[in-house]
Every structure is written in C-alpha cells, then in structure tokens.
Amino acid sequence: MSSLEARLQAVEERIQHLDNLDTVRRVMAEYCRAIDTGDIKTVEVLFSRDAELTVVPWGLECKGRDAIVEFYRQFFQSEMKNGRHNLANEIIERDGDGYRSFCYFHETVERDGDSLVGWGTYEHTFIHEDGAWKICKKRITIMVLASIHKGWAGPEKIATL
C-alpha cells in the first residue's frame, strides 16, 4: 500500500470513528428525551435485544430489551412526571468493536406535587446492531434524588421508586 493510500485509509477510519462518537452522543441525548417525554417506542429502539439495565441503589436489574421496556412502561405510569435530564462531562471511548461511556446526569422531576432534584452517573456500553448504535448495558447510579423542600443532605437523600 502506498503512503498516500495508507494516509487516506487512516483519514477514513478517523472520520468513521468521529461519526460513531457523534452517533453515540445522539443516542445518549435521545434516551434523555425519551425518558422526559415518556416515549416508550424510542426507548425500545435505543436498546439492543440482549441489553442490560442496572439502577443503583434501587437494586433494579433488567435483562433483555423486553424487560427494560416493561420497566420504563411502568415508570412512565408512576407518579414521576415532567422530568428533565441533562448530561455533562461525557467520556466516550472505543471498546473493541463498540463504545463505552461515562457521564454525569442532573434531573428535575415532580412527584405528587413535590419538586425533586437529582443527580448521579450513567455508564453505557454500545454495540452496533441492525445497522444502528444501541445501548447494550446501562448502569444508572443515583447519588441524590430528593425533594427540594428536604434538601439533598443526610441519609434520606435518595427517594424510592
């Protein structure tokens, strides 16, 4: 392979990697919008068939897209309403044929007429399935989910589901 061909191949690989990073960021953003709007169809599209979801400290573990979709279907019917999720400090890295990410989230939500504020971390693993990047593992670590009236300090800083 000539030097020019090798350089062109390297540029093409770099462009594909940057495009993949952009797509993974979009999947993360689409997840937040789907959660905030109760869009179960988008949730279903974003997760791979064999996806896993873990929520710490609630002890929730779902295996398979159907179980994850059912969890979110019930969550959307709960008293948690009008959520707004924001992501920050995303780190996205290549992981074999896929990608993994770490980021912080901040959320506001209402429950039974009370305003809640929360934050924590999201850890994802993404795979390419059926022509699209999908979440195959998602770990949500809730650090705080508390009423703004009570504040977020102390032992009761994480509301139950």
Per-residue tens of pLDDT for the chain, all 161 residues: 679 899 999 999 999 999 999 999 999 999 999 999 999 999 999 999 999 999 998 899 999 999 999 999 999 998 888 999 999 999 999 999 999 999 999 999 999 889 999 999 999 999 999 999 999 999 999 999 999 888 777 777 777 76
Instruction: Parse the chain into domains and list their residue ranges.
Output: 3-147
Q: What's the CATH fold of domain 3-147?
A: Nuclear Transport Factor 2; Chain: A, (3.10.450)
Asked whether the whole model's pTM tops 0.75, one would answer yes
Long-range pairs, 49-54, Cβ under 8 A, ≥24: 49/129, 50/136, 51/134, 51/135, 51/136, 51/137, 51/138, 52/136, 52/137, 52/138, 53/137, 53/138, 53/139, 53/140, 54/137, 54/138, 54/139, 54/140
